[in-house]
Amino acid sequence: MRITVNALMLTVIIITSAGCAKTGGREINDRAGRTVRLTRPINRIVSTAPSNTEIITDLGMAHKLVAIDRHSANVAGIPGGLVTLDFFYPDAEVIVKLEPDIIIANGHNPTGSGEDPFRLLGEMGIPVVYISMSRSINDIYRDIAFIAEILGVTGKGGELIDSMKAQVDEIARTGALIENKRSVYFEISAAPEMFTFGRDSFLDDMISVIGARNIFGNDNWIVSPGAEAIIDRNPDVILTNVNYIDDPIGEIKRRPGFDHINAVIHDRVYQIDTDSSVRPSAHIVLALRQMACAVYPEFHEK
């Protein structure tokens, strides 16, 4: 049974008033540009996206998690028995009972219904910070730094960023030496509803880092291309992170007209790890290495 709004408000007021009595609180600007007041030390965290959960875990703060979204269930290093929440429709009553010190939300969360599912909880005093959808690798560095700051582990955040940068820069140095850049089509949703991405996305940034060219790099954000557009742009390599159908590589090769694409002719269709290619955290390095090895095997050791 759902609790009433008044009961929910009363519960949150009691929780947050106790927190304010302990500390004066501090104001921060989150990654979405909103001002949020932190009312007490952060010891109980709700994470609503797997990328945030990975960052929290990489910072050594997994023990402070009290709830996660269900997509975070396979993140290595999280404690067992955590409450799991729906990505788009989290249960406010469950969250209130957990008495979180902060909710670390994601730019994807409001898109389920078009409404911010945490708006009411934020208005009633539970601090909610948003990590906007990362549009570049540099954005991911900033996301890590932000989460490290609010959790009071800026030193660990710096170490994580430095480690990630070193690995990205190593691949980028090789990519910069490549003169004949291969063209790439990266599929994130299979036929019949094919989706890929254009500029201002961290995956497009990753293609540039390895020294390749995204065939939809001049398009905006998420792209739904027709088969004709892919055939016309004739990519040298096709990458896919689709894992919800059987044999995604074979499915691509069997599409009508795709036998005229260079990538299919030369058997350059490869599968990339799904989680590390869609979650903007330090774990993108795994997908980045796979992409580099797939597109330029002659320059990279597997």
Q: Distance (Å, rounded) from C-alpha 246 to C-alpha 229?
A: 24
Whole-number pLDDT of residue 15: 45
Instruction: Give the HSE-up count for residue 62: Cα atoms under 13 Å, Cβ half-sphere.
Output: 18
Q: Distance (Å, rounded) from C-alpha 257 to C-alpha 97?
A: 56
Whole-number pLDDT of residue 302: 67
Task: Identify the helix (H) or strand (E) that includes residue 58.
Answer: helix 50-58
- 162-182 in b/e burial notation, b at 16+ Cβ within 10 A? eebbeebeebbeebeeeeebb
**Could you tell me if 177 and 165 are in contact, meaning their C-beta atoms sit under 8 angstroms apart?**
no
What the block records as the tokens of 269 is 């269709």
127 burial type by CB count under 10 A (0-12 exposed, 13-18 middle, 19+ buried): buried
Taking each continuous run of H as one helix and of E as one strand, the counts in the chain are 12, 13
pTM of the predicted model, to two decimals?
0.89
Q: Distance (Å, rounded) from C-alpha 210 to C-alpha 301?
A: 14
Q: Distance (Å, rounded) from C-alpha 284 to C-alpha 140?
A: 9
Whole-number pLDDT of residue 22: 45
Whole-number pLDDT of residue 114: 60
- 36-66 in b/e burial notation, b at 16+ Cβ within 10 A? bebbbebeebbbbbbbbbbbbbbbebbebbb
Whole-number pLDDT of residue 221: 86
Q: Distance (Å, rounded) from C-alpha 116 to C-alpha 105?
A: 10
Q: What interhelical angle do 202-209 and 137-150 show, nearest 10?
A: 120
For the chain, 302 residues long, give each residue's pLDDT as a single digit of tens: 333 444 444 444 444 444 444 445 789 999 989 899 898 899 999 999 999 999 999 999 999 999 999 999 999 999 999 999 987 788 889 999 999 999 999 876 654 456 778 888 888 789 999 998 899 999 999 999 999 999 999 999 999 999 999 999 999 999 999 999 999 999 999 999 999 999 999 999 999 999 999 999 999 889 999 999 999 999 999 999 999 999 999 999 999 999 999 999 999 999 999 999 999 999 999 999 999 999 999 999 76
Amino acid at 167: Q
Q: Distance (Å, rounded) from C-alpha 179 to C-alpha 88?
A: 44
Number of other CB atoms surrounding residue 297 within 10 Å: 12
Whole-number pLDDT of residue 256: 97
Which residues, in sequence order, are bridge partners of residue 53? Answer: none
